[in-house]
Amino acid sequence: PPRPGLRVSSQGWLNSDQRNARPGGVSSQGRVPGGAPRIPAPRPRHRRPARLSPARGARVAAPPPAGGVGTGRAEAGTAAMAPWAGAALSTLNPLRALWLALAAAFLLTLLLQLVPPGLLPSCALFQDLIRYGKTKCGGPPRPAICRAFDVPKRCFSHFYILSVLWNGFLLWCLTQSLFLGAPFPNWLHGLLRILGAAQFRGGELALSAFLVLVFLWLHSLQRLFECFYVSVFSNAVIHIVQYCFGLAYYVLVGLTVLTQVPLDGRNVYVIGKNLFMQARWFHILGMMMFIWSSVHQYKCHVILGNLRKNKAGVVIHCNHRIPFGDWFEYVSSPNYLAELMIYISMAVTFGFQNLTWWLVVTYVFFNQALSAFLSHKFYKSKFVSYPKHRKAFLPFLF
Q: What is the pLDDT of residues 314-338, one digit of tens each?
A: 999 889 999 999 999 999 999 999 9
Which of the residue ranges 12-16, 32-36, 194-198 has the most confident prediction, judged by mean pLDDT? 194-198
Beta bridge partners of 152: 237
Q: What is the mean pLDDT of residues 126-155?
A: 85
* pLDDT confidence of residue 390: 95
Q: How confident is the model at residue 166 (pLDDT cuts 50, 70, 90)?
A: very high
Q: Which amino acid is at 239?
A: H
Name the pLDDT band for 8 (thresholds 50, 70, 90): very low
381 pLDDT above the threshold of 60? yes
Residue 7 CB contacts under 8 Å (≥ 6 apart), including other chains: 34
What's the mean pLDDT in 95-117? 94
Amino acid at 138: G
**Over residues 59-78, mean pLDDT:** 40
CA distance 350 to 301: 28
Which pLDDT score, from 0 to 100, does residue 138 have?
A: 66
Distance between CA 363 and CA 108 in Å, rounded?
A: 12
**Residue range 356-376, pLDDT digits in tens:** 999 999 999 999 999 999 999
CA angle 293, 133, 298 (to 5 degrees): 20
Average pLDDT, the chain: 81
Greatest Cα pair distance in the chain: 150
Using CA atoms, how far apart are residues 172 and 214, in angstroms rounded to an integer? Answer: 10
The dihedrals phi and psi of 6, each to the nearest 5 degrees, come to -110, 140
Check if the beta carbon of residue 239 is closer than 8 Å to that of residue 149: yes
Average pLDDT over residues 139-145: 78
Residue 384 is predicted with a pLDDT of 92
Q: Which tens digits make up the pLDDT trace of 107-130?
A: 999 999 998 877 777 788 888 889
CB contact at 8 A, 94 and 195: yes
pLDDT digits (tens, 9 = 90+) for 296-318: 999 999 999 999 999 888 999 88
Average pLDDT over residues 269-273: 75
